[in-house]
Chain A
Amino acid sequence: MTIKTFRGGIHPPEYKELTQNSVFEKVPAPGQIFLPLTQHLGRQAIPVVKKGSVVTAGMLVAQADGFISAPIHSPVCGTVANLGKQITSSGFPKDTITIITNGQTEAAFMSPMDPETITPDDIRKRVADAGIVGQGGAAFPTSVKLTPPPEKLIEFVILNGCECEPYLTRDYRFMLERPDAVIGGLKLILKVLGVQKGIMGIENNKPAAIEKMKNYLRDEKDLSVVVVKTKYPQGAEKMLIKAITGREVPPGKLPMDVGAVMQNVGTAVAIYDAITKGEPLITAALTVSGKGIKNPKNLIVPVGTPIKDVIDHCGGLTDNAAKIIVGGPMMGAAQYDLSSPVMKATSGILVLTKDEVETKQETTCVRCGKCVEVCPLNLLPTRLARLTQLQRYEDAEMIGITVCMECGTCAYTCPSNIPLVQWIRLGKQKVFRLQKERSASEN
């Protein structure tokens, strides 16, 4: 069987061995947790509690504001201490509910439902009520994804088990430890969408997971596992769709435009739990790894736990720790404030050491073309960055700066160590501002 893939991409060292055999470990709630109101893409949730309110685990503390938004539930029992601002892993302060835990463990979940008999509308409602957001990184409210416009013909659902980012092993552990939930979640998604065909895309560096999933799917005729090449960013939506189906999602279009819906493995598990246990999304499964951490582990942590507590749980930092990242090393965000909390879609906390992050001297672009060669979206990263530096945003727009998904492949490979993604991100922001101005002036 040929291993499917896409054009471009890179293969950085995987470092998965640090945690791939570590079984998920449940972490108890710390004394104080922070629940930012924007843990998802879209409108900020609206708090329904006040300072002093007493909450139990699973209780709604903030409700969704409109369609593209998600409610937030308390992961712990305790008292609301404050409604204020807290720096989150994005690096910026966000409106946050602070809860002091009281150590109690009772939980007020929704009623469990039977996955066999449940109707699509019920699933949809439950997914929305449970505040489930995409676990693949973008934290897009899942209920929205499960409600495609009727005119879109969805042909298959792809479950993304690539986990192409180095270090991370969360999805891998999910597939090994909770195969039933993964498959169960996938079936629920298929049911919602009324689709027959379900595909799991898994990179070929996870033979155990492939084996396991294949075993589980042996009797399913519509569900299958597709093994894809280990390559970053194989897990990116467009890339995986290309690898599996050969279809290309055009710029500005969504997977559903080519007949696909993609969900992360973790999302499937969350959906399964929300239906079968009635549990809203109040825990985050994540990988804590890196050479800068004493005991790398896979954990299940209450949402809102400050990073610091998670790190402490893993034995703390080593002496040469130099950089803390939330997310994967390729797309995650560097942290400077360790009180920033774990959020719904946090998939990993990585601590890199001094020698890993040592910033090499930046030189000017030598036009080696390596970034062009690896960019999975066929962009010209060097030019996008240079045009941004020269503030020629219109030109950057013309050559597709807004298409860039900031995967970081280009910056990884650049021998001149140009912070390409940083520039491109700036350029994108400026272009979006320009576009807004433009549409404003037209109306």
Chain B
Amino acid sequence: MTASDSEENKQIRFDLTTSPHLHSKWSTQKVMWLVVASLAPSIFTSLLFFGLYQLLIIAVAILFAAGTEYALQVMRNKQPTILDGSAMLTGLLLALTLPPNFSLSATAIGSVVAVGLGKQIFGGLGFNIFNPALVGRAFLQAAFPVQITTWSKPHLAVDTISSATPLAAFKFDHVSTEIGPLFFGNIGGSLGETSALAILAGGFFLIAIRIVNWQIPVSMILGMIIFGGVFHLINPAVNPSPLFHIFAGGFLFGAMFMATDWVTSPITSSGMWIFGLGISLILVVIRLYGGLPEGVMYSILFMNAFVPLINRLTQPAIFGIKQGGQNEKSY
């Protein structure tokens, strides 16, 4: 065993790793910050429509999310990884699903729950089953159902739409809202969800740079057109058109930013289709027959629970093994 003694080799320490020696340009950290960037339009519209106070909500949510992540990782003697941005993203997304002028202390609780119960208790990034931000929001909705359904009027409302959200208005008062305001966002609703324009801008950006798997938003929208359409055709007087379903409430926001969460969505593309269609189906049922006006959050969480089953169902057959034929191993 003769280690080479040549002069120049001594200065260089060669890295020993296995192949491959090239890597793509992505890193989790980069991805997370790009998602944050793509949320900028939504943040901007939320401030525009609901006032600067919302910045406080966002700040509190991010701060507590990151703080919880840090504290729990330190407690588990793990290398803190808050800089990978995923906790902050969770906080930001949580904030954007809250109603305007929501209480800051409740926001903080939601953030702590989102990261603590939604993510870290499963082992941290990548191990959670449910979308953490939505776990936080669902917790808040169950803990403070009245506050979280109290909606402030947007500053820039064109007419005197009451503070109720389009969906609540539809559900309880059978008032439909025009697509125009729905699209631009000067309506009642959660911070990030009101402006479809801003969401689509961010969403298309993410799809374009291949962070978001296009299958999920597309299948959700398609599903909504199918299922919403069927109900609409059955009884147009009671059931709104699919277009209304798509632009009202958190549908687009959920489709672009929340159902697409890598961790909690299926890993195969056929799985993503099932996932998206499932969300739409459940959403339509909840919106039309449930007691609650909105169900994006619940349908995403519900389908999150199905993801392990979907993954198993859609597991690709190993190359060379015909679909269905089991790799029968005898030993």
Contact = CB atoms under 8 A, between A and B. Distances in A.
A and B touch in the complex (CB under 8 A): yes
Interface of A: 10, 12-13, 85-87, 91, 93, 166, 238, 242, 248-251, 253, 308, 316-317, 321-325, 327, 329-339, 350, 352, 356-357, 359-361, 363-369, 372-373, 376-380, 382, 397-398, 400, 403, 406, 408-409, 411-417, 419, 421-422, 425, 435, 438-439, 442
Given A250-B320, A376-B319, A325 B21 contact: yes
B4 A412 contact: no
20 contacts: A317-B12, A322-B14, A323-B21, A325-B21, A329-B22, A334-B15, A337-B3, A337-B4, A356-B21, A360-B27, A361-B27, A363-B29, A372-B316, A379-B318, A411-B23, A412-B23, A415-B26, A416-B27, A421-B19, A438-B331
Contacts of A417: 23, 27
Contacts of A421: 18-20
A321 B12 contact: yes
Contacts of A364: 123-127
Contacts of B267: 367-369, 372, 380, 382
B126 A367 contact: yes
B interface bracket (residues with beta carbon within 8 Å of A): 35 or more
B24 A412 contact: yes
A314 B15 CA distance: 21
Contact of A363 (B123, B125, B269): B125
A339 B321 CA distance: 44
A330 B21 contact: yes
A334 B16 contact: yes
B17 interface: yes
Most buried by A among B19, B86, B315, B321: B19
For the complex of A and B, 8 pairs with smallest distance between CB atoms: A408-B20, A369-B267, A250-B320, A415-B26, A378-B316, A377-B319, A364-B126, A368-B262
B2 A425 contact: no
A416 B28 contact: yes
B215 to A, nearest CB: 10
A366 B320 contact: no
Interface in B251-295: 262-264, 266-269
B6 A333 contact: no
A292 B3 CA distance: 22
B31 interface: yes
Interface string B67-84: 000000000000001001
Nearest to A292: B12
Most buried by A among B6, B15, B20: B20
Given A334-B15, A367-B267, A249 B262 contact: no
Contacts of B26: 413, 415
Contact of A324 (B3, B14, B22, B124): B14
Interface in B94-151: 123-127
Contacts of A12: 22, 24
A329 B20 contact: yes
B317 interface: yes
A361 B29 contact: yes
Contacts of B22: 12-13, 166, 329-330, 356, 412
A323 B22 CA distance: 11
Nearest to A411: B20
B23 A416 contact: no
Contacts of A406: 19
Given A322-B12, A323-B15, A377-B318, A416 B126 contact: yes
B9 interface: yes
Most buried by A among B3, B24, B269: B24
A413 B24 contact: yes
A352 B17 CA distance: 13
A408 B9 CA distance: 28
B160 interface: no
Contacts of B126: 363-367, 416
B8 interface: yes
A360 B318 contact: no
A403 B262 contact: no
Nearest to B315: A380
A86 B331 CA distance: 39
Contacts of B316: 372, 378
Interface in B10-64: 12, 14-24, 26-31
